Amino acid sequence: MKQVKLVLGVLLFGMLFFMSCSETDKKEDSSNADIPVSREMMAELTAPPNVPTPVGRRRAKKLIVKMEILEEVGTMTDGTTYNYWTFGGSVPGSFIRTRVGDEVEFTLSNHPDNKLPHNIDLHAVTGPGGGATSSFVAPGHEKTFNFKTLNPGLYVYHCATAPVGMHIANGMYGLILVEPAGGLPVVDKEYYVMQGDFYTKGENGAPGLQAFDMQKAVDEDADYVVFNGSVGALTGDNAITAKVGETVRLYVGNGGPNLVSSFHVIGEIFDKVFVEGGDMINENVQTTLVPAGGAAIVEFRVDVPGTFILVDHSIFRAFNKGALGMLKVEGEDDMKIYSGTMQEGIYLPEGGGIQSMPDEGKDKPKVSTSDKSLAEKMESGKQIYMNTCFACHQAEGQGIPNAFPPLAKSDYLNADVNRAINIVLKGKTGEITVNGEVYNSVMTKQFITSEEIADVMTYIYNSWDNNKTNVTTSRVEQVKSGH
């Protein structure tokens, strides 16, 4: 009898002990700081809509992440391009997949062709600025910092360099997943979908290279609201796919900068939602809110074939501004009729995604410098300005207080043409005073030809109340050679 009691007691104690252990493992993040790491591993990074291989049962590791920042022109919609700033060359940026307890060694490099300094704030990081302070990096440089993942969940990362809103609006955001020990449950298909809102000088559908519009961004008046960086990034041939009977998991993020997403898949009900990307699971959900700078994981089994439409259910955004994607599910039924009809419904409404006239003059033969008229120089200069200078000096040359000096009605600019040319040729650091305000910052050397400098300077001097100097290529050449 005594012995039975003892055995029972030991068993009970053992169970309690075991239960309390696993409970601690799951809930208390401070203990996650003590998870040991074994060996080093290079992180697999993927462009949307793909995600890296699940962590499965692997132990916590030292995980090496190498992320490259690229500023590059891409297609926003047919006929419209945009100068995107990206983490890893895509919008959203590369997907990073870790497990709790990983020690991440993060190297952020800023490509030498880039114009601006950047950094990264990862919401998965416990530490000042989420890494932002340690990762601030100028073009042609790289920075390395370390952090340990303490809390499982799906987290946003983004650039946090001033003006922060502008860096985010240009596409500098992405997702980092921290899986729990043992990994998330296995599913058949996983995809990466992230919403963002864009603000352009021209209205939705206006052709050509569109500059960022600060005022519209401040007013939260978006021209484009899209999944994965552009109109059509997840439609037609770019649609994500699954087969009838499969379970689909979507890692959904929202970079903002401004708008909250009412994420919905037309014709599906989410069997499970990891609310806000955390531990709480809601079931049988029609539409889930994804906050700006937040995320959600949604899961559902696809039971019938067809094209399922991903939308922000703030519905004008979907049908008129681009927040629309497609999940094509294959099965025995012919879905062509269904998806064909949907396409007409999607693309016919005013504005959105209309094929526009090709940019006139793009294919014109290059006029030699000597016989270029002032009007031609102004046109070419404006293009160069919108491509290269506007990011800092802003579209109307107004600059940004305390960061970038104005070129509009600039006493500094008008006082000395050769000095201004020299700044564009060689870059500028140190204190300068423009219109009574002191600036002490860095303008990087601009990699453009003498003719381009002549055109852009002529454009600047003949805009915004400046002194109308016509800068010639030979003058730029003279300044370059030091005469």
Backbone angles phi, psi at 433, to 5 degrees: -115, 120
Q: Does residue 443 belong to the site contacting ligand HEC (CB under 6 A)?
A: yes
Nearest CA-CA partner of 110 in 58, 61, 71, 154: 71
Give the range of 31-39, 184-192, 205-213, 428-436 binding ligand HEC by CB under 6 A: 428-436
Nearest CA-CA partner of 399 in 443, 365, 369, 431: 443
Q: Three-state SS for 338?
A: helix
Q: Using the minimum distance from each CB to ligand HEC, give the nearer residue, 355 or 435.
A: 435
Residue ranges with strand state E in 159-227:
173-179, 189-198, 208-210, 224-227
Q: Does residue 172 belong to the site contacting Cu ion (CB under 5 A)?
A: yes
Query: Under a CB-based contact definition with an 8 Å cutoff, are residues 257 and 224 in contact?
Result: no
Give the range of 104-112, 185-193, 341-349, 388-396 binding ligand HEC by CB under 6 A: 388-396
Using CB atoms within 10 A of its CB, is residue 138 exposed (0-12), middle (13-18) or buried (19+)?
Answer: middle
Nearest CA-CA partner of 65 in 89, 23, 94: 94
Q: Using the minimum distance from each CB to Cu ion, give the nearer residue, 9 or 128.
A: 128
Q: Using the minimum distance from each CB to Cu ion, give the nearer residue, 134 or 339.
A: 134
Residue from 104, 159, 250, 265 that binds Cu ion (CB under 5 A)? Answer: 159
Q: Using the minimum distance from each CB to Cu ion, give the nearer residue, 68 or 179.
A: 68
**Percent helix, strand and coil across the chain, each to the nearest 5:** 30, 35, 40
Cα separation, 169 vs 172, in Å, equals 7
Residues 191-210 that bind Cu ion (CB under 5 A): none
Q: How far is the CB of 241 from ligand HEC (least distance, A)?
A: 41
Q: Using the minimum distance from each CB to ligand HEC, give the nearer residue, 241 or 422.
A: 422
Cα separation, 48 vs 43, in Å, equals 16
Q: Using the minimum distance from each CB to ligand HEC, give the nearer residue, 429 or 467.
A: 429
Q: Which does 374 bind (CB under 5 to 8 A by kind): Cu ion, ligand HEC, none?
A: none
Q: Does residue 418 belong to the site contacting ligand HEC (CB under 6 A)?
A: no
Give the residue carrying structure tokens 């003498």.
450
Residue from 266, 289, 425, 434 that binds ligand HEC (CB under 6 A)? Answer: 434
Q: Does residue 392 belong to the site contacting ligand HEC (CB under 6 A)?
A: yes
- Site mask, ligand HEC, residues 109-148, x = CB under 6 A? ------xx--------------------------------
Cα separation, 395 vs 435, in Å, equals 18
Residue from 115, 148, 167, 393 that binds Cu ion (CB under 5 A)? Answer: 167
Cβ neighbours for 177, distance < 8 A, ≥ 6 positions apart:
51, 95, 96, 97, 98, 153, 154, 155, 251
Q: Does residue 393 belong to the site contacting ligand HEC (CB under 6 A)?
A: yes
Q: Does residue 412 belong to the site contacting ligand HEC (CB under 6 A)?
A: yes
Query: 374-380: which pairs have CB atoms within 8 A and are 24 or more residues apart?
Result: 374/458, 374/462, 374/470, 377/454, 377/455, 377/458, 377/459, 377/470, 378/458, 378/459, 378/462, 380/452, 380/455, 380/459
Q: Does residue 61 belong to the site contacting ligand HEC (CB under 6 A)?
A: no
Cβ neighbours for 436, distance < 8 A, ≥ 6 positions apart:
none
Q: How far is the CB of 405 from ligand HEC (least distance, A)?
A: 3
Q: Using the minimum distance from each CB to ligand HEC, give the nearer residue, 20 or 440.
A: 440
Q: What is the CA radius of gyration of the chain?
A: 27
Q: Does residue 420 belong to the site contacting ligand HEC (CB under 6 A)?
A: yes
Which letter does DSSP use for residue 365 in this model? Answer: P
Q: Does residue 365 belong to the site contacting ligand HEC (CB under 6 A)?
A: no
Q: Which does 167 bind (CB under 5 to 8 A by kind): Cu ion, ligand HEC, none?
A: Cu ion
Q: Using the minimum distance from each CB to ligand HEC, give the nearer residue, 135 or 320.
A: 135
Residues 109-138 that bind Cu ion (CB under 5 A): 118
Q: State the residues that interact with ligand HEC by CB under 6 A.
A: 115-116, 388-389, 391-393, 404-407, 410, 412-413, 420, 423-424, 428-430, 432, 434, 439-444, 446, 456, 460
Residues interacting with Cu ion, by CB under 5 A?
118, 159, 161, 167, 172
